[in-house]
Amino acid sequence: MISVTKDFKMIDGGVCAAAGFTANGCNCGLNKDKNKNDLGMVFSKTLCNAAAVYTTNKVKGAPIIVTKRHLEATGGKTHGFIVNSKNANTCNADGEEKAQKMCELAADVLGVAADEIVVASTGVIGQKLPIEPIASHVSELAAGLSPDNHGKAANAIMTTDTVQKEVAVEFEIGGIICHMGGMAKGSGMIHPNMATTLNFVTTDAAVSSEMLQKALSDIVKITYNCLSIDGDTSTNDCVLLLANGLAGNAEINADGEDYETFKAALYTVMMNMTRMLAKDGEGATKLLECTCFGAPDLDTAIIVAKSVIRSPLLKCAMFGEDANWGRILCAIGYAEADFDIDKVDVDIASAKGTISVCKNGSGVDFSEEKAKEVLGEDEIYIDINLNQGNTAAKAWGCDLTYDYVKINGDYRT
Amino acid sequence: MISVTKDFKMIDGGVCAAAGFTANGCNCGLNKDKNKNDLGMVFSKTLCNAAAVYTTNKVKGAPIIVTKRHLEATGGKTHGFIVNSKNANTCNADGEEKAQKMCELAADVLGVAADEIVVASTGVIGQKLPIEPIASHVSELAAGLSPDNHGKAANAIMTTDTVQKEVAVEFEIGGIICHMGGMAKGSGMIHPNMATTLNFVTTDAAVSSEMLQKALSDIVKITYNCLSIDGDTSTNDCVLLLANGLAGNAEINADGEDYETFKAALYTVMMNMTRMLAKDGEGATKLLECTCFGAPDLDTAIIVAKSVIRSPLLKCAMFGEDANWGRILCAIGYAEADFDIDKVDVDIASAKGTISVCKNGSGVDFSEEKAKEVLGEDEIYIDINLNQGNTAAKAWGCDLTYDYVKINGDYRT
């Protein structure tokens, strides 16, 4: 139903699955837990075409500003990025200076120009970023760059995440095998809008800057932008897509079959990372996947699916395994889109089966016993059929639990 | 700073503080707890001018539809209303029929026409409303109508509310003493949009239908619509304002000093009820009042204040008494309005004092010890100065706690 879906071979390697990309991560001391990395780097000797999508929050982290500036200066080319967790380097008077310094430190040890490196940070807002721990560890970080160390980089970007998030696929362009892989972080403050939390995708496919950006914008709209953990749009959201062309395919520089294949691979990587982010939402015990079918257009489908996924009341009901479908109808009803509520059907499903709870906008009888069984699973599907068109979209989220409150009641300490 | 503020004498009497209004409430059996009322009635022998504002949710409770129809049929005149809790009579195929029946039952025992009575319901969505308990108690309910029983009606509309919410004031129009009082319910599913949860206000002032509606719409915008408990806009939100004219003042039928006084009285009643609703938010331990000063216009001030009040991350931080002001800046930053984030100052205050946490969009040092003391109080004030205009607005909310999750994890049972 999502037209870009294809079956690809899933592979290992995360952000280093594509040829020519190396990575590393270490603990430089920003995080007091020495077993948790807090500084990461991803590098391609071959200069990459880069596409990016950033947060729409007016408060923009200093790294976002510096990354934008560097990509503008180089016409969208980069060798890679340096990234830290534990401190977002946002709302600090010296933020841009520090973000620029991170790029310079990395560029120096990598032997490239400072504006050929971009930067990202995630963590607490409004605390000054100490540069010394980064300066004293950047040589070690670069020395350890290897295709095998993708996991160390994925670990470095985690904040309240409980699992590392890496996905990679193999795909074919004109008979040439290409690879694409990504890593993501994010657990709270997630309600992406034209961008998302930190997500990095690399590929060895050759793709023009223009088509790379087009594919990224299209796929962000139906993956990361359809994710909501708590309705809070972060100040540091950023998706970076780097293509170094080492696979040797003829460059994709126009619409057509090759572009569609590339876009489908990108959807697979980003959709799977989105699901991982939703499932690892702060305090979450359940992944919620809401599909809105039968919509008159894509925007309506997205708006309805996201409205349901965002509802705190529904999220609590799912935590309580309570089939309180009135809350689904309520959230469909306040979605800011134009449709007829009296045609709407709703099913709730999981690996244990499906219950139909609403037909034509009114409740239908269902077995509470069966509902308990269905809702006992840890992946819950909410299927909404508007019955007024042929378009569909998905949104992803999670339940709202005691642990979300606990984690966020005292985040800074 | 809110231009409609005046000092009025607060009085007792709730929805019966105004001359000629009687009320009653009883338990008819919808609620299994016999000590909790679930059916209420408010009545004025003198026909009232009525103004109303309803939910913008596409899913509209059947009582909303019937109330609208009756007020249209009578040209905005009514004798009063019947209201039940425990069942929202929403998303039921027979909902309108049942809501109409409630009006007919009430009208019969009151000796008025059915369309001179309006109706409201609140509770679970999508369960059929049994009419028998209402039919068998409506005579008893009408027989007990009295100015003294306003509390019984206020009790009847409560759902997960932990306290009854009544406010009343005395005010003077052209040398004549007038009265106005209200009752409200609502604890969860509160994020009013052009309307709110159930709120009833009565007055003995004489006001034309047109000016009554104008005042209600203006005041709803800066009171109930600036309240957010959880971001969920209910299907049954409704504010009713009834004016029976028994005070004997010259009817207010145009702008001017009398109208401004009336509007200020309405602001006082509705603002105080809004604060009570926020403070009694599901699971809440703290009232949050956010004031946005220095805004270029009213809409910007409202949007910014509401964005902050709605943030789940900020709500958790307030529960944890953690001065994580970065979350305030973040929520200001994603507010959908046009302003310069780099001019923004933020203070956090309570009865224990004020801490300045942000100047010109960047953090300033503050004492964590003092912050703990300030945040230990149960009423917290977040003061945002955009420094780019002269308009202000307030929004009200509460913290997000374990108990919110608990209450909503299993609401139906």
CB within 8 Å: B58 and A322: no
Q: Which two tokens stand for residue B364?
A: 């300033």
Rounded Cα gap, residues B193 and A363, in angstroms: 25
Summarize pLDDT for A103-149 with one digit per residue, the tens: 999 999 999 999 999 999 998 888 899 999 999 999 999 999 999 99
Minimal CA–CA distance to B43: which of B73, B20, B66? B20
User: Beta partners for B80?
Assistant: B43, B117
- Kindly report the nearest CA distance between residue A208 and chain B, in angstroms: 32
- The secondary structure element, H or E, covering residue A201 is strand A198-203
- Number of residue pairs across A and B with CB atoms under 8 Å? 202
User: Cβ B317–A408 below 8 Å, yes or no?
Assistant: yes
Question: What's the pLDDT tens digit per position in B216-246?
Answer: 999 988 888 888 777 677 777 788 899 999 9
Cα–Cα nearest to A315, from A193, A142, A190: A190
Tokens of A373: 């069984």
CB A160 within 8 A of CB A282: yes
* pLDDT surpasses 80 at A162: yes
CA B305/CA B284 separation, integer angstroms: 19
Closest CA to B166 of B10, B6, B350, B392: B10
Residue A214: name the closest of A257, A263, A168 by CA: A263
Nearest CA in chain B to A319: B409
pLDDT band per the 50, 70, 90 thresholds, residue A3: low
Nearest CA among B401, B385, B387 for reference residue B305: B385
Q: Nearest by CB to B235, which of A56, A330, A406?
A: A330
Note whether A138 and A104 are within 8 A (CB). no
At A317, list the tokens. 């009901």
Question: Given the structure tokens 């025992």, which residue do they identify?
Answer: B109
| Angle between the N-to-C axes of helices A326-333 and A298-310, in degrees from 0 to 180, rounded to the nearest 10 | 130
Q: Report how far residue B53's alpha carbon sits from residue B219's, in angstroms, rounded to the nearest whole number.
A: 11
Neighbouring C-beta atoms of residue A163, cutoff 10 Å: 11
Alpha-helical runs (H) found in B226-287: 257-279
Catalytic residue among A78, A159, A196, A202: A196
For an interface test with A, the pick among B54, B87, B91 (most A C-beta atoms closer than 10 Å) comes out as B91
d(CA A20, CA A11): 16
DSSP state string for B150-182: HHHHHHHT-SS-SS-EEEEEEEEETTEEEEEEE
Strands (E), B198-304: 198-203, 238-243, 287-295
pLDDT of res. B195: 35
Nearest to B267 by CA among B329, B225, B322, B321: B225
List, as one string, the DSSP characters of A110-123: HTS-GGGEEEEE-S
On the question of pLDDT at A35 being above 60, the answer is yes
State the Cα angle at B163 between B199 and B198, rounded to 5°: 15
Note whether B160 and B187 are within 8 A (CB): yes
| Two tokens, residue B207 | 């006001």
Q: What is the C-alpha separation between A373 and A368, in angstroms, rounded?
A: 9
User: What are A236-289's pLDDT values in tens digits?
Assistant: 778 889 999 999 999 999 999 999 999 999 999 998 988 888 888 888 899 999
Contacts of A394 (CB under 8 A, 6+ apart): A2, A222, A226, A289, A290, A291, A292, A305
The answer for B343, left when phi > 0, alpha when psi is -120 to 50, beta otherwise, is alpha
Option in B59, B124, B326 nearest A333 (CB): B59
Q: Give the model's pLDDT for residue B313.
A: 87
Point out the residue among B88, B322, B401 whose CB comes nearest to the CB of A410.
B322
pLDDT, position B119: 96
What single string gives the DSSP state of each residue in A20-70? Answer: TEEEEEE--SSSS-TTS--EEEEEEEEEEEEEEEE---SS--HHHHHHHHH
**H or E segment at A73?**
helix A62-73
Q: Is the pLDDT of residue A413 over 60?
A: no
For residues B295 and B332, what is the distance between their CA atoms, to the nearest angstrom? 12
Low-confidence ranges of chain B (pLDDT < 70): 1-5, 188-196, 231, 411-413
B chain contacts of residue A60, beta-carbon cutoff 8 Å? 333
**How many Cβ atoms from other residues are within 10 Å of residue B229's Cβ?**
30
pLDDT greater than 90 at residue A58? no
Question: Strand B117-121 and strand B77-84: pairing?
Answer: parallel
DSSP assignment of B36-67: S--EEEEEEEEEEEEEEEE---SS--HHHHHH
Helix, strand, coil share (%) of chain A residues, nearest 5: 35, 25, 40
Catalytic residue flag (residue A235) = no
CA distance A193 to B307: 15
What is the rounded distance in angstroms from the CA atom of residue B174 to the CA atom of residue B316?
Answer: 48
Cα three-residue angle A90-A95-A96, rounded to 5 degrees: 120
Do residues A398 and A274 make contact, with C-beta atoms less than 8 angstroms apart?
A: no
Quote the pLDDT of residue A148. 97
**Lowest mean pLDDT across A32-41, A67-76, A129-138, B124-133:** B124-133
Pair of tokens at residue A331? 């959230």
| pLDDT at residue B194, rounded to an integer | 33
By the 10 Å C-beta count (0-12 exposed, 13-18 middle, 19+ buried), B336 is classed as: exposed
Q: What are the CA-CA distances from residue A306 to residues A224, A393, B194 (Å)?
A: 11, 9, 22
Tell me the helices (H) and strands (E) count for chain B, helix number first: 12, 15
> Mapped to the 3 state alphabet, what secondary structure does B269-285 carry?
HHHHHHHHHHHCCCCCC
CA distance A375 to chain B (A): 12
pLDDT of residue B85: 93
- Comparing C-alpha atoms, which of B359, B354, B362 is closest to residue B387? B359
Flag whether pLDDT at A33 surpasses 60.
Answer: yes
Mutate to test the interface with A, among B86, B232, B236, B314 (most CBs of A within 10 A): B232
Token look-up 């985690």 returns: A158
Q: Which residues of B touch A363 (CB under 8 A)?
A: 91-92, 126-127
Is the CB of A409 less than 8 angstroms away from the CB of B317? yes
Rounded to whole angstroms, the Cα distance separating B157 from B168 reads 17
Query: Residue B4: its pLDDT value, please?
Result: 55
CA distance B53 to B236: 11
Rg over CA atoms, chain A: 21
User: Among A331, A358, A405, whose Cβ lies nearest the Cβ of B400?
Assistant: A405
CA–CA min distance A195, chain B (Å): 12
Query: For residue B250, with 0-12 CB atoms within 10 Å meaning exposed, 13-18 middle and 19 or more buried, which class applies?
Result: exposed
Nearest CA to CA, how far is A305 from chain B (Å)?
A: 15
Q: Which of B67, B78, B122, B196 is catalytic?
A: B196
Q: How far is CA B85 from the centre of its chain?
A: 16
What is residue B242's predicted lDDT score, i.e. its pLDDT?
93
